[in-house]
Amino acid sequence: MKINVREIVYHKTPRANEEYRMGGYQRHLCDEDMQLVQTALRNTRFVGQKTDSVVNMLINDKIRGIFLAQALTTIVISGSTNLISLAMTRPFNEESFLWWFPGRCNEDDYAHFSLDKFLRHANVDPEGKPYLDNLRDVYIINEYPTLKNVHDNYYRTDFMGCLPFSGHLLAIEFVVKQDLHQPFLFTPCLLGEVDREFQYRIGGRAPGGHGHHFFTPLPVFKLRYQHKNTLESLDLDVESHLPMLKDWDDKNIEDDSVEMNPGWLTEEEEALEFRFLTSIWKLEGSLQDLSALKSLSIGIGLLLFFTRGVHVNPKKRRASFTLADCLPGNLEFLCIQGYEKGLNETSETQMDHLLAYYKSGNLNLKEITGIE
């Protein structure tokens, strides 16, 4: 069964302790339709009781809500080899915790819902499962299940539990992370082979405890730098929510370290993680090296910091530079976030020169916003 679907939006979050109970077959399907359903289920690679339960969800007239929604979505995806975009709420109960012990528990014992199980299996073992080969854009919708879970307009969701749905898909090009604890940005499962767009936003909400968000600029830049020949769009919206980043002297920023082991890795996994992070940490360069970059949205502090350059030896960084001369050659759109005249003399001088170059037509830039 082939379905020409390019975009799917799944919007149904399981409630805690929901459990499916098999019922009688109450919807009548002709032999041809039943054969189509069975063909689709063979594509999912479900076996035994799981196959029976999905069929039962489709046939049982009394089934509504989460189970029917997941069964239908699973069937549609399994026949959609042209699927490009998938937006969904988390398809599992509360927090899955499966990412706490990867490879050390039987996910089938924990993944109770059909869409949850289907996406996990397809991502981990893609052999003979072509329906996610072209998937480029995965967006996790953060939904408020009940008002009692909302605190100060913030609702915690298990983004880490959703990573196994797309972490190994080679076609992923668009990565969006909003207010995700920064150490989780450093794991290999967050990085596609070809990264064309990257967006990281804190989003304006106070973190738990009303403290400051944890953010260090060097790791984020170095992770993007490894995609310097493919990254076309970079959006970092962090400075307006982090007072310690405002009006900084970018020459004094130190090479902040990253927690190498979040605490749940085995020795083998920790060694792999350490090698990966070490290789990232050795990367050196500047914003100018992002040769494919066409669109950049960033705060003035990070812009100057990345333009000066990131090096293992701080003495290699540019002692002085003119921003207008050091932008990526293919950059067409530049948005500078949170810039205000009169707050920082160095920033103001750089912005004046940049605007003058832009107005004179000496830059490839088509549009600058934020410094008018």
Cα 117 from Cα 45, distance rounded (Å): 11
pLDDT category of residue 329 using cuts at 50, 70 and 90: very high
In the chain, the percentage of residues whose pLDDT exceeds 70 is 56
Final residue of a structural domain among 129, 147, 172: 172
Q: Is residue 139 packed enough to be buried (19+ CB in 10 Å), middle (13-18) or exposed (0-12)? A: exposed
Cα 172 from Cα 166, distance rounded (Å): 8
More confident residue, 56 or 259: 56
Q: For position 68, what pLDDT does the model report?
A: 84
Proportion of the chain in helix, strand, coil states, percent, rounded to 5: 40, 10, 50
Q: 132: which 2 tokens?
A: 């996610």
If you average pLDDT over each of 130-134, 164-168, 169-173, which comes out highest?
130-134
Domain check: are 312 and 182 in the same one? yes
Domain check: are 220 and 117 in the same one? no
Total structural domains in the chain? 2
Domain check: are 140 and 191 in the same one? no
Q: Which of 91-95, 119-123, 156-160 has the lowest mean pLDDT?
A: 156-160
Q: What is the DSSP letter of 250?
A: G
Q: 275 — phi, psi (to 5°)? A: -65, -40
Final residue of a structural domain among 123, 153, 172: 172
Q: For position 168, what pLDDT does the model report?
A: 58
Q: For position 247, what pLDDT does the model report?
A: 46
More confident residue, 169 or 152: 169
More confident residue, 145 or 220: 220
* Residue appearing with tokens 């399994």: 78
Please name the residues in contact with 247: beta carbons below 8 A apart, sequence gap of 6 or more: 301, 343, 344, 347
Final residue of a structural domain among 132, 153, 172: 172
Domain check: are 148 and 239 in the same one? no
pLDDT (mean) for 349-353: 92
Domain check: are 263 and 128 in the same one? no
pTM for this prediction: 0.60
Domain check: are 53 and 139 in the same one? yes
pLDDT in tens, 94-120: 654 444 444 444 444 445 688 888 887
Domain check: are 229 and 153 in the same one? no
Domain check: are 300 and 353 in the same one? yes
Q: For position 130, what pLDDT does the model report?
A: 79
Residue 348 has pLDDT above 80, yes or no: yes
Domain check: are 252 and 354 in the same one? yes
Cα 319 from Cα 328, distance rounded (Å): 19
Domain check: are 105 and 186 in the same one? no
Q: For position 237, what pLDDT does the model report?
A: 83
Q: For position 100, what pLDDT does the model report?
A: 42
Q: Which of 53-62, 127-136, 237-246, 295-304 has the lowest mean pLDDT?
A: 237-246
Provide the domain limits for residue 7.
Answer: 1-172
Domain check: are 196 and 305 in the same one? yes
Domain check: are 97 and 222 in the same one? no
